[in-house]
Amino acid sequence: MPQIVKVIALGTSGSTPTKERQMPSFAFIYDGDVLLFDCGEGTQMQMLKYGINLSKVKAIFVSHAHGDHTIGIAGLVRSLAMTSRKEPLQIFVPKGYERVIKSLLVFDRAILNYPIIVTGVSTGTIYKTKSYTVRAFRLNHTILDYGYVFQENPKRRFIEKKAKKSGIRNEMFSLLQKKGKIKVNGKTITLNSVTLLQNGKKIVYATDTRPAKITEIESKGADLLIHESAYTENEKKLAIERKHSTAKEAALVARHAKVKMLLLTHISARHRTDENILKEARSIFKGTVVAKDGYTITV
């Protein structure tokens, strides 16, 4: 069975919480791994609320070092210590801001009896497993800020008609995958001749940023783009001053990148409903959803 990526919005507010929206954080779950993208205040409580196993967190990817995206790390790492965790936890933060994360780890001299590796982020691939990679790209905010691309490795798929026509049956499939070529009825069949390489799933996370050409480039053809939409066009002056995006601007990024779906987040507390944001974005890109806390999608 092909793997899925489960994406859960844990906190979708911007800067301050509301009754409906908590501080910024998203969880990606893939093959049992939990990856957190930002970790605002209350993230661990949101994880418990939405049924995410805290002990499965492998890495935290911090977009930037503002408190609304980082303060939840302090509580989460201490809860993990209470589970007798031994596995390392990796935390990625823009290079030069490692001290911000480290201060959250040591301020009360808590006993954290498992390795925590804080790594300064720069552009390029920063995290890699046998199944997927995460790479970083520079955004445009008031301080150093990065977006992240979750990229599943390409998958090789058998072309059923070609495989059958070549005489491949049953255990021969696994043998061909292992060896790269086999003989069938005296004829050499190569893996490339009966398979195709299918792109893996691609999800992009870009928050606290002005709309950027690099986001369009990195998001090209993505299955899902998670992009901030703090404001509407009526508040564009604020968006420019504070280096955030409007719903229209986020939708234009999605349209230019030809993504399959746009998920808007980091909604300003001034917006009591999603109506204006959604209407504005969908006028540009129909495949838009405004995320609420707990919103879950499988990719």
Sign of CA dihedral 249, 11, 78, 89: negative
Active-site entry in 38, 68, 208, 274:
68
Q: Please answer whether residues 239 and 226 qualify as being in contact, where contact means their C-beta atoms are separated by less than 8 angstroms.
A: no
Q: Is 293 a catalytic residue?
A: no
State the amino acid at position 70 in one-letter form. T
Q: Which residues contact 264 (CB under 8 A, 6 or more apart)?
A: 227, 228, 229, 247, 250, 277, 278, 281, 288, 289, 290, 291
Residue 53: closest CA among 74, 75, 27: 27
With H, G, I as helix, E, B as strand and everything else as coil, classify residue 1.
coil
CA 231 to chain centroid: 22
Backbone phi, psi, residue 283, to 5°: -70, -20
Residue with tokens 């480039």: 217
* Pure H helices in 26-142: 43-49, 72-81, 98-106
Residues with active-site annotation: 68
